[in-house]
Chains A and B, each alone.
Chain A
Amino acid sequence: MIEVKNVSYVYSAGTPFEVKALDDVSFTIGEGEFIGLIGHTGSGKSTLVNIISGIVKPTSGQVLIDNIDITNQKSVTRALKGKIGLVFQYPEYQLFEETVYKDIAFGPKNIGVPDSEIDDRVKEALKTVGLSEDILNKSPFELSGGQKRRVAIAGILSMKPKILILDEPTAGLDPGGRDEILGRIKELHSDYSITVILVSHSMEDVAKICEKVIVMSQGKILKYSYLDEVFKDSEELRENGLSVPEITTIMQKLKSLGLDVRDDIFRIEDAKEEILKILKGGEDQ
């Protein structure tokens, strides 16, 4: 369980360039939940996930992971390493080893996974991100952008974190690759019942795979609820520089044009059913 209590964060505190990135944020994420974290650019998403994973200490407030205060001592964060996996925004810039294999093995080695197990973990992680094994002996610097991204994500997955946090993992990937990676993450989530926090700008992606959504605006939590709750109030989201999934917009338009459809739909399949139902209902009359 992740408990965030009154967390604030200020960048460049005490200089003329002070920025309050997080302002008294509190919320709880239960074990095994799949949370989408959305918000316009600069709303504090990356800052928040850095704090939750214990890499950045909050200016004030507490973060408890399974009742351990990670904002407190150094030794605690060390024990947490491996438990929380954070995939940074543009993680491909963290690759450094001679080969892809070594790079993916870097994390597990650091957290003390025995050598005999590392090989399996590297291969499993590689499979999860949809890369083939002949890439393992290449240098990470001769891969394409998308391949680098996948290798970087595999470098985190190989640590088998219980809480997986991804900061815009699919920004800049092709739609096919995006769906593929998100699908694999969803599988990981259901197979190993890990907790996942997905930071994203894409409402479509969030609607497709998350259960609950946290909406951030200017360093505060605007909303934290189930998908339908959040997407219902499309006006408020728009005011905060966000949108609802296109399909929700369509349903809302249909309704405003007088069609008797539900407007809290955010998946294409549900929309299809709803529209078919209306059409069939029309024939019956």
Chain B
Amino acid sequence: MMDITIGQFFPGDSIIHRMDPRTKILFTMLYMIVIFLVNNFAGFAVIFLFILAVIVSSRVPVKYYFKGLKTILILMLFTALFNLFLTPGNTIYTLPYLGWTISDSGIRFAAFMLFRLTFLLIGTSALTFTTSPVVLTDGLEYLMRPFSKIGVPAHEIAMMMTIALRFIPTFAEETDRIKKAQSARGADFESGSILKRAKAMVPILVPLFVGAFRRADDLAIAMEARCYRGGEGRTSLKQLSFSYADIYGLASAAIILTAVIICNIYSHF
């Protein structure tokens, strides 16, 4: 089975689950900006404490956050290595034979990059783990609504996202099924040259695409049969509303923003 931990929703009733999706989305955006503003270790410590609090209060087992990290491990390593070797500064160490140099600021930036990617992924995971896709796109649609005045099709974008998110697990399942069916016919996906393996994907990809188009057609017909005509005048079944949880969210946003700014100004570490 494919690993689709990123973007998966874990139903629950924690304080983070109960927050309004709009709060969570705005918060996550703010959080992303803050992560890239931080330029010292003290600031990262603040963010670490904060994200720890989020993980604990989300009541989603920690291992799922780490599983998500594992999928971008390679990306993280590459980014860190590039930063390590390519940042100019006072040379600390030179690799034998290759002559690549590591500078003091290289180490610093590599560490920052690792922290940023880790915190970024954990933070966005916290959003998707605790918010069902439907609620998430509801929130997005609401937040995008002001832009519809300047011609942004807010509802249509949200609907497209809902559908796309809805079909990710379906396609993962379908891929798995087709792969099994073809290996029952003796198809071999694991051995041979790269070219041979690429060719071996054809028996999976063709049925997958055929299926995707068929599904899209069916869905379009099914939606029209239920009189769907786009966003004009549509109301939603579940109204979004703010609660106490959102006030806590707001308060903690203010606190970490202040803390990080203070660190940026006063910390030289």
Asked if A86 is at the interface of the complex by the 8 Å CB criterion, the answer is: yes
Min CB gap A143→B, angstroms: 13
Known: A16-B10, A50-B180, A55-B180. A96 touches B185 (CB 8 A): no
Min CB gap B17→A, angstroms: 13
Asked if A199 is at the interface of the complex by the 8 Å CB criterion, the answer is: no
Contact of B186 among A15, A82, A94, A95 (CB under 8 A): A82
Asked if B199 is at the interface of the complex by the 8 Å CB criterion, the answer is: no
| Chain A positions within 8 Å of B1 at CB level | 12
A78 to B186, CA, bound (A): 8
Contact A88 B186 (CB under 8 A): no
Interface bits A114-142 vs B (CB < 8 Å: 1, else 0): 00000000000000000000000000010
Contact A86 B178 (CB under 8 A): no
Binds B, one of A104-112, A171-179, A200-208, A256-264: A104-112
Interface bits B64-92 vs A (CB < 8 Å: 1, else 0): 10000000000000000000000000000
Asked if B156 is at the interface of the complex by the 8 Å CB criterion, the answer is: no
Contact of B210 among A16, A55, A141 (CB under 8 A): A141
| Chain B positions within 8 Å of A78 at CB level | 188
Asked if B11 is at the interface of the complex by the 8 Å CB criterion, the answer is: yes
Contact A93 B203 (CB under 8 A): no
Min CB gap B37→A, angstroms: 35
Contact of B185 among A12, A15, A16, A110 (CB under 8 A): A110
Asked if A159 is at the interface of the complex by the 8 Å CB criterion, the answer is: yes
Min CB gap B187→A, angstroms: 6
Contact A94 B207 (CB under 8 A): yes
Interface of B is mostly: helix
Contact A88 B207 (CB under 8 A): no
Chain B interface extent, by class: 20 to 34
Known: A16-B11, A93-B178. A86 touches B206 (CB 8 A): no
Q: Which of A15, A78, A82 has the most CB of B within 10 A?
A: A15
| Chain B positions within 8 Å of A15 at CB level | 64
Q: Which residue of B lies closest to A82 (CB)?
A: B186
Contact B177 A88 (CB under 8 A): yes
Contact B186 A81 (CB under 8 A): yes
Q: Which of A122-172 contact B (CB under 8 A)?
A: 141, 155-156, 159
Contact of A96 among B183, B184, B186, B202 (CB under 8 A): B202
Asked if B182 is at the interface of the complex by the 8 Å CB criterion, the answer is: yes
Contact A56 B180 (CB under 8 A): yes
Contact B186 A111 (CB under 8 A): yes
A42 to B81, CA, bound (A): 49
Contact A96 B206 (CB under 8 A): yes
Contact of B203 among A82, A85, A96 (CB under 8 A): A96
A16 to B187, CA, bound (A): 33
A106 to B207, CA, bound (A): 14
Contact B188 A110 (CB under 8 A): yes
Known: A16-B10, A16-B11, A88-B177. A93 touches B207 (CB 8 A): yes
| Chain A positions within 8 Å of B206 at CB level | 96
Asked if A71 is at the interface of the complex by the 8 Å CB criterion, the answer is: no
A156 to B180, CA, bound (A): 13
Contact of A106 among B10, B64, B177, B185 (CB under 8 A): B185
Asked if A62 is at the interface of the complex by the 8 Å CB criterion, the answer is: no
Contact of A156 among B64, B185, B210, B211 (CB under 8 A): B185
Contact B203 A106 (CB under 8 A): yes
Asked if A53 is at the interface of the complex by the 8 Å CB criterion, the answer is: yes
Q: Which residue of A lies closest to B183 (CB)?
A: A55
Q: Which of B202-245 contact A (CB under 8 A)?
A: 202-203, 206-207, 210-211
Contact A53 B184 (CB under 8 A): yes
A88 to B207, CA, bound (A): 14
Q: Which of A12, A106, A110 has the most CB of B within 10 A?
A: A110
Asked if A39 is at the interface of the complex by the 8 Å CB criterion, the answer is: no
Contact B182 A94 (CB under 8 A): yes
A82 to B183, CA, bound (A): 10
| Chain A positions within 8 Å of B210 at CB level | 93, 96, 141
A194 to B30, CA, bound (A): 66
Min CB gap A160→B, angstroms: 12
Contact B185 A94 (CB under 8 A): yes
A94 to B177, CA, bound (A): 9
Asked if A36 is at the interface of the complex by the 8 Å CB criterion, the answer is: no
Q: Please, could you name 17 A-B residue pairs with CB atoms under 8 Å apart, sorted by A?
A: A15-B64, A55-B183, A82-B186, A86-B184, A88-B177, A88-B181, A93-B207, A94-B182, A95-B207, A96-B203, A96-B207, A96-B210, A106-B203, A107-B186, A109-B186, A110-B185, A110-B187
Q: Which A residues fall within an 8 A CB radius of B?
A: 12, 15-16, 50, 53, 55-56, 78, 81-82, 85-86, 88, 91, 93-96, 106-107, 109-111, 141, 155-156, 159
Given A91-B181, A106-B185: 15 more A-B contacts, CB < 8 Å: A16-B10, A16-B11, A55-B180, A55-B183, A81-B186, A82-B186, A88-B180, A94-B181, A95-B207, A96-B202, A106-B186, A106-B203, A110-B186, A155-B185, A159-B186
